[in-house]
Amino acid sequence: MSDIKYSDFQAAVDSTLARHRGVFDVLSKIQESSARLNRAVIKAATTCGCIRLRAEKQELDDSITLDQLRDVIDNCVEGQLCENCRSVIEKEMGALLYYTAGLCNTLDLSLYDAILQEEKRLTTLGRFSLR
């Protein structure tokens, strides 16, 4: 995606974000949106049941290399999101991105530049940028 798409999104957020323009409001809306996203994922497992979330200790052998780590670690998700849960999660993810762009506007930052910086860090450090 080009910087124009990100700039268009950020401009659309700037033109529609009216009530929560202050930095404290935007930060609290980011936190609220994150919580709603977490809840939507959990409800996909606990209410709908389209996915199953497993929580268990992941055993890692000392002989595993960094190259093998990605293939060994389990994401703890079984199944596929149904259309309804996918729609709800995408909506909540969109809201989180909306308020993230709003914070960029509040702080006079470019969402596109932030993404480029993160991509550069990831590609420069490669597997050593593990999170």
pLDDT profile of the chain (131 residues), mean per 10: 79 87 93 98 98 88 79 86 98 97 96 92 75 60
| Ordered alpha helix ranges (H), the chain | 3-16, 23-43, 66-72, 83-106, 111-125
pLDDT of residue 107: 96
pLDDT of residue 129: 63
Nearest in space to 84 (alpha carbons), one of 33, 48, 35: 48
* The pairing of beta strand 51-53 with beta strand 77-79: antiparallel
Are the CB atoms for 52 and 78 separated by under 8 Å?
yes
Give the domain 13-108 fold.
Answer: Helix Hairpins (1.10.287)
pTM for this structure? 0.82
Q: Is 82 exposed, middle or buried (0-12, 13-18, 19+ CB in 10 A)?
A: middle
Residue reference for tokens 């929560």: 20
Nearest in space to 20 (alpha carbons), one of 94, 106, 111, 93: 106
SS3 19: coil
Domain boundaries, the chain: 13-108
pLDDT of residue 131: 60
Rounded Cα distance between 28 and 40, Å, is: 18
